[in-house]
Structure 1
């Protein structure tokens, strides 16, 4: 029997390579399958906004989309791309651009959960003439595109000559869209006011977990030029925005929340918690988070009560109470445990129903170690400067307390906008309609 060793010389390495590839592929698919079922177990199956839908008839399982996603929301299962971690998806759209066979569509909402998207034209003007919408509220969560929309909306606003008012535009929100719009207003010498309901800038970015990747593409800003980084952590991005504000002297009215907008002749009147403004136009860049949901209990307006953690190091040596039962509250408790003197987590239900498995496990480890005390079911009854009155398991309990973070979600501004007359379209997974500046 003659053996052709030349063939073996090529066949054996190829066979070994294929074996290693298949083994690695199997391991990766196993990890992605585990992530998928963890999402199911946690009840986190609905993406918050813009997200990919994969056409299995076209998908070839290349994995390009998986590698492109900075949020690790996609995986490969049975040779096809799958949204394995829906709640992590924030609409980057990088997967759509990376797919070599155009098997991915970007959509809003799902069959089970609709998403209300305001009706705007290519200049981001709503059906109410003079009221513009840019950024996350319009369904565009990607930071680069939100900033572009803010700039483009301001170009259209600069062309509005109708109306007699003290201001050309009131910009509501100091996230990427709002800051970009404010810079454009300065560049065009418009009379503007930029409102921010929080005590610091950043919008939805401020609520991201620590070190979260917050941007994947450069963007042009008026007065500044192009931002050259492609991937940046939340902290670095917020530092960049603050430097932009300082450098350009962009004026932001912090801790001033918009309460109403109404037409007054040929202009609008914007009423806030601090003032009334008469303006020719309004740009809403307030995001979909809206205003933080309140407990509505005595003492909630005390200075020690906040609605976001920010830098957990500021709680060093303090007795901290976190209120809430979602991932944001659990992540806040985990983060504060590294700095605070003590951390209590209060939740009204008996179990966490929509918390990622990894967060549950991390919280359980801290609970067992005595670094986080979980109070379930519990209800906050009253807040005082030095303590908090709760009802835990039906029994009254008082906690000594220095700081309190309420993380129970937000109130969407939909009703306020509808009162202005803005029309909404409820999307249930239909393909995203492209607008100028909103392409992938």
Structure 2
């Protein structure tokens, strides 16, 4: 061989071989794995955190916006003791039960940090989890879209008393808390912290809270708390700097003048939405489009432009703005679409048409209801 000739890299020696690697152990990742395994496809789920990681960082006792039948998966009913919408704790319990019921192989706290095509076979994929390599015919990226809190991009944002998540409400008792934001997360946090005895101030950059994007059962209460001055609302205000001693805000007064406020708070919660971690998309070279850097994929199969690499769940929406279009309740069909496409490629059992549709994740009637009247 001449010195100038390149040598193709050798494939990694796999520690494990399966049909499909599902990246992400949230509801749709789990549902997709179940649908595949029902059809004879050996699917393994890898989750960087605990099962249902995104839901697990919700504040305790946070309730879903969607009804229980719309967020149930794999045909397993989701029931609550009082028939109310499921709480964080109830839903995490439900996810654990579904995984146990179907014996889904899920490896938690196992972050996928690299995905690459096998050098000698571009239809085979090699996935690195920690120091181990898993080889598969396909990869499903069910990575969600709310990985990191949006930033204010102001000085002092990384101070220890500033947080992009609402923690255990008890922590804030007797404390002065500034909540930045004006939609669901911020409004729910304001109400809950007021209830536990925090002195709450709400900073929102518009003239009033939005008519939509707030859970209907929260709106009357937050309006009443603001009217009665139990919660101080600083409308048309923006945080400009944070120090250990104070927060600086710029507020537009009714006459149009700008007014600078210097206020002391013990805690600052920046509840202004979340962004997707696009590391794996970029690493694989998956093309994305605006708004939000949505991955480009085939809507009939959920396959990206890379053969054998699929997207599922809210990952298809990229980083969504306050007006979400993609949420759990309208993603159930992804599991069936991906499974059907894999079966057509000869991965899994034969006589696939009947098996794929044997236990649909949601009935056609419910799918129509979701399409016509989304709750999220």
TM-score, length basis structure 2: 0.52
The aligned counterpart of 2:263 is 399
Change (3 A) 1:284 1:310: farther
The aligned counterpart of 2:242 is 383
- What pairs up with 1:161-240 in 2 under 5 angstroms? 164-166=13-15, 171-179=22-30, 193-196=46-49, 200=53, 202=55, 209-210=62-63, 214-216=67-69, 229=79, 233-240=86-93
The aligned counterpart of 1:283 is 140
The aligned counterpart of 1:327 is 184
Give the 3-state SS of the residue equivalent to 2:249 in structure 1. strand
The aligned counterpart of 1:298 is 155
Change (3 A) 1:368 1:182: same
The aligned counterpart of 1:100 is none
1:240 offset after TM fit, Å? Answer: 1.0
- Larger RCO of the pair (alpha carbons < 8 Å, separation 6+): 2
The aligned counterpart of 2:227 is 368
Change (3 A) 1:324 1:260: farther
Q: How many residues align?
A: 267
In the alignment, which of 169, 184, 188 is matched to residue 312 of structure 1?
A: 169
Change (3 A) 1:279 1:243: closer
The aligned counterpart of 2:297 is 423
Measured against aligned partners, the alpha-carbon deviations of 1:145-201 in whole angstroms (never above 9, x if no partner) come to xxxxxxxxxxxxxxxxx985456566443422345678999xx99876311499955
1:358 offset after TM fit, Å? Answer: 6.7
Change (3 A) 1:386 1:177: farther
Deviates more, 1:383-392 or 1:323-332: 383-392
Change (3 A) 1:239 1:311: farther
The aligned counterpart of 1:253 is 109
Measured against aligned partners, the alpha-carbon deviations of 1:94-148 in whole angstroms (never above 9, x if no partner) come to xxxxxxxxxxxxxxxxxxxxxxxxxxxxxxxxxxxxxxxxxxxxxxxxxxxxxxx
1:380 offset after TM fit, Å? Answer: 1.9
Whether contact under 8 Å (2:163, 2:270) holds in the other structure is yes
Whether contact under 8 Å (2:60, 2:89) holds in the other structure is no
Query: Which sections of structure 1, spanning at least 5 residues, go unmatched?
Result: 1-161
1:313 offset after TM fit, Å? Answer: 3.8
Change (3 A) 1:293 1:216: same
Whether contact under 8 Å (1:172, 1:178) holds in the other structure is yes
Taking only aligned residues, the RMSD between alpha carbons, in angstroms, comes to 5.1
The aligned counterpart of 1:37 is none
Change (3 A) 1:424 1:354: farther
1:343 offset after TM fit, Å? Answer: 0.9
Change (3 A) 1:191 1:339: same
Give the 3-state SS of the residue equivalent to 1:216 in structure 2. helix
The aligned counterpart of 2:3 is none
User: Separation in 1 of the partners of 2:43 and 2:240?
Assistant: 47
User: Separation in 1 of the partners of 2:47 and 2:14?
Assistant: 16
Whether contact under 8 Å (1:210, 1:235) holds in the other structure is yes
Give the 3-state SS of the residue equivalent to 2:47 in structure 1. strand
Change (3 A) 1:213 1:438: closer
Query: Which sections of structure 2, spanning at least 5 residues, go unmatched?
Result: 1-10, 253-257, 288-295, 300-315, 318-324, 326-332, 338-355, 364-376
Give the 3-state SS of the residue equivalent to 1:404 in structure 2. strand
Q: Quick check: which has more Rg, 1 or 2?
A: 1
User: Separation in 2 of the partners of 1:198 and 1:244?
Assistant: 11
